[in-house]
Structure formats: C-alpha cells, structure tokens
C-alpha cells in the first residue's frame, strides 16, 4: 500500500461523540441546575420584597411572600422571626408567638433579636408602658431597628388615644428618619387631636412632599382647606385624588363641597347626590345638600337632612345654625328660636374651650384642674379624642384629680364601658 505524499494535509483527529442518551442526561442536568438557580434567585427576591412590605406596613402581603420562602427555608430562624413580625402587625398574636417559639428552638435559645421581637409583640398586645422601658435601652444604644421600635410604640399610643406620648415618640422617629413620610403623616393626625391644626397642616404637607402618592393626608389637607373656605387651594388636591381614585365616593363628596363653595350649585348637587349613595351618613355631605336645599327654597327637605345629622352629632354647630335658617324658611318661628338658643349655648361653649386652649398653648399651666376643665368642655362638645387627651393630661399631673375622674366615669358609663367607668369611680373621694 503506498503511503500518503509528504505534501498531503494531515487529517483532523476524529472527535469522540457522546452517545445520544448521555447527551440527553447532560442537558437534563444542566436544565435542572439552571432551574434550581432561578428558583433560588426568585426566593431571594421574595424575601427582599417581603422585607419591603414590612417596612411599608403591609403585613398581609409580607406574610404571603414569607410563607412561600418558608417552603425553601423551613428551618431558617430569621425567616420565622419575620413571620412573627408580620403576624403581630396583623394582630394575630397567637401565630406570632408560635413563630417566635420556632425561631428560638432553631437558634438554640433566646437571642437579643428575639427579645426585641417579644417586646414589640407586647406593645402591640396592649402592654406599651411595660415594654417601653426595656425598648428604651435599644433606642439609647442606637439599635438598627430603632425606626421599627418607634413606629410600633407610636401606633400603640395612637390606638389608645394617648396623644402626648404618641407625639413624643413621633417627634423622635421624625428626627431619626427625616426623609420618611409616615412619621409626619401620623404626627399631623395627632396634632389635629391636640387642637393644633396649623402645625398638623405643616406635617401633612411635608409628608406629601416626601411621598406625593399618599392619599390619606392629601384628602385631609383638602378637607382642612374646605373647612377654612379655601376651595381654590383644596381643588388641586381633590383633582389629583380623583385622578388616582375616580370612583372614590369620599373624594366625590369633597369635590361636591368644593363646587358649592365656588358657587357651582348644579355641579355640587350632582356630585353630592352621587356620593350619597355610598355615604348616606357622611356629615359634611348632608350639611352641604341641606344648604343647597335651603338656597333652592326646599325647607322641608333641608330640615329632614339637618335633623338626621343632629341626631348623630348633636354638637354640630354649623348644622344647628342651618336648621335655624331652614325652620324660619318653613314658617316655624318658635322651633327656630329654640334651635337658635341651643346654637348660641353651644357656640359659647366652643368659644370658651378655644380660649382656654389658646391660653394653655401660650401660657402652659401646671395644675390638673385647668386642663381637666378643657377636657370636660370638649367632651360636652362631642370632641371625644381631644377631650380624653386633656383629661388624661390632668391625671398625669395629678392622678387623684376628682374632676377628671368624675368626667371620665360619666363618659365611659354613657358608652357602656363599665370596666373603665368602675376604675374611675373607685378613684373618686380618694384622699
């Protein structure tokens, strides 16, 4: 056999090829590993999104994501701690306890983080004062979760209508996170109940600067501007809200009020009547419909609306004044005189309480009786949160204040809260 010429090219080496089954197995394993990696990456994203939901006070959404993560990491102690947090934020205290116990077992004992979580759970369960002392140590040491601690304490104090402690905690939270809209929003709400509307408006507006998508403080800003008869300033907030929530009946009702103040009666009535289908007991809505009825000469319709409104809130001075106008229009002079006398009594009470509040703001007193008097007047005006705040302030100054205990006893008795009423009754005539 002749050999190949020296000039001929050397043939390439033969490539060894895997059998078909082997190649399929390799491809299958590759896909498995890629799928596992993608799944793991997805769970990491779920974990991150769950933490964001917790920071944004969306506990139910966070819990759904965390439960999906639990499928992959059933023995992760930190995951169970966050599941506990999502549970107590949603006020599911038994589930929170179970997750904390599981986390403690996985950690082999209690840790500093678990101790913090137990303290926060106690705050949410109604033991704010007892837990606040221990939580103060975390705050003093600049713990990384100080914002969570302050938010939880503030929420508990607001829930219990304890506006003084709530304000102090919110003030500290705002200092710690000046670019977070939530402490400004909450502090504005508290300031309103402390009869400081100007400061409340400033906080609401600051919250909207930080987060323009917040609808609750924007609605409140619009309502406060309407109360001050500033429809042109309120309108820009209402129009933005309507673009966000075109079918929201509350926004529709406030826009109707705005159109009324602008003198656009037909448009105002159309908006108010449409909103009334969803808000049959909304006070400002009924009041403005009654005003439209009076202006169009429908005295009987106005009287019916205003009577319904005053049955629910006997201390609505604006509604009572409109009732005087409607009764005179309907030819009921005697009823109008009686209504006017009650209106003047309430109006004097309102002026006196506002004067006391201004004096207290300009020259803070130190005795319990002066602030108890403010609280009693506000309760008589049906301003329950504000009245309770000042009566509690009186008891902070003097835990034996007889006027405060008597007012609180009568208040809780009238509302059927026999437990709280009994507590204050027991303190009467205490030496």
Q: What number does CATH give the domain 365-431? A: 1.25.40
Six-digit token string for 231: 């429809």
In three state form, how does the secondary structure of 92-113 look?
A: CHHHHHHHHHHHHHHHCCCCHH
Q: Compute the distance between CA of residue 115 and CA of residue 113 in angstroms, rounded to an integer.
A: 5
Q: What is the pLDDT of residue 383?
A: 81
Q: What is the pLDDT of residue 2?
A: 41
> Measuring CA to CA, how many Å separate 415 from each of 98, 237, 257, 281, 316?
36, 37, 32, 20, 19
In the numeric block, the tokens 């990384």 are attached to: 144
Domain segments of the chain: what residues? 365-431
Nearest Cα to Cα of residue 85 among 160, 45, 145, 170? 145
In three state form, how does the secondary structure of 35-85 look?
A: HHHHHHHHHHHHHHHHHHHHHCCCHHHHHHHHHHHHHHCCCCHHHHHHHHH
DSSP label of 277:
T
Q: Residue 349: how many CB atoms within 10 A of its CB? A: 16
Nearest Cα to Cα of residue 194 among 234, 166, 153? 166
Helix 112-124 with 93-107: angle, nearest 10 deg: 170
pLDDT along the chain (431 residues), means of 10: 44 53 54 49 71 79 82 81 83 86 86 89 87 92 93 90 88 96 96 88 97 96 96 96 94 97 96 96 95 96 95 89 96 96 90 82 83 88 83 90 92 88 86 57
Provide CB contacts within 8 A for 51, sequence distance 6+: 62, 82
Per-residue pLDDT tens digits for 11-50 = 555 555 545 555 555 554 554 454 445 545 666 777 788 7
Q: What is the pLDDT of residue 22?
A: 54
Six-digit token string for 304: 């019916």
């Amino acid at each position: 056999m002749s050999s190949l010429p020296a000039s001929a090219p050397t043939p390439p080496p033969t490539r060894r090829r895997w059998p078909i089954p082997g190649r399929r197995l390799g491809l299958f394993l590759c896909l498995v590993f890629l799928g596992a990696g993608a799944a793991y990456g997805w769970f990491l994203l779920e974990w991150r999104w769950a933490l964001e939901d917790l920071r944004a006070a969306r506990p139910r959404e966070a819990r759904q994501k965390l439960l999906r993560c639990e499928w992959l990491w059933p023995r992760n102690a930190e995951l169970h701690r966050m599941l506990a947090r999502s549970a107590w934020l949603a006020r599911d205290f038994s589930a929170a306890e179970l997750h904390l116990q599981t986390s403690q077992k996985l950690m082999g004992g209690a840790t500093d983080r678990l101790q913090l979580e137990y303290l926060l759970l106690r705050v949410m369960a109604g033991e704010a004062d007892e837990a606040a002392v221990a939580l103060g140590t975390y705050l003093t040491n600049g713990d990384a979760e100080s914002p969570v601690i302050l938010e939880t304490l503030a929420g508990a104090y607001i829930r219990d209508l304890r506006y003084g402690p709530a304000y102090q905690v919110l003030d500290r939270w705002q200092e710690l996170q000046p670019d977070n809209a939530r402490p400004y929003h909450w502090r504005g709400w508290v300031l309103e109940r402390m009869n400081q509307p100007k400061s409340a408006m400033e906080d609401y507006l600051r919250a909207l600067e930080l987060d323009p998508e917040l609808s609750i403080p924007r609605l409140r800003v619009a309502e406060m501007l309407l109360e001050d008869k500033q429809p042109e300033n309120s309108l820009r907030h209402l129009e933005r809200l309507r673009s966000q929530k075109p079918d929201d009946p509350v926004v529709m009702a406030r826009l109707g009020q705005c159109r009324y103040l602008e003198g656009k009666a037909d448009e105002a009535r159309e908006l108010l009547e449409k909103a009334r289908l969803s808000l049959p007991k909304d006070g400002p809505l009924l009041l403005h419909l009654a005003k439209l009825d009076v202006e169009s000469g429908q005295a009987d319709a106005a009287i019916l609306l205003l009577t319904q409104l005053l049955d629910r809130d006997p201390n609505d001075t604006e509604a009572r004044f409109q009732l005087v106008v409607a009764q005179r229009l309907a030819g009921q002079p005697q009823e109008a005189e009686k209504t006017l006398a009650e209106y003047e009594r309430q109006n004097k009470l309102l002026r006196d309480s506002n004067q006391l509040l201004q004096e207290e703001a300009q020259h803070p007193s130190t005795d319990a009786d002066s602030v108890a008097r403010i609280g009693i007047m506000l309760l008589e005006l049906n301003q329950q949160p504000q009245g309770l705040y000042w009566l509690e302030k009186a008891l902070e100054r003097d835990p034996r204040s007889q006027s405060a205990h008597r007012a609180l006893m009568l208040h809780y008795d009238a509302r059927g809260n026999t437990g709280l009423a009994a507590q204050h009754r027991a303190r009467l005539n205490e030496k």
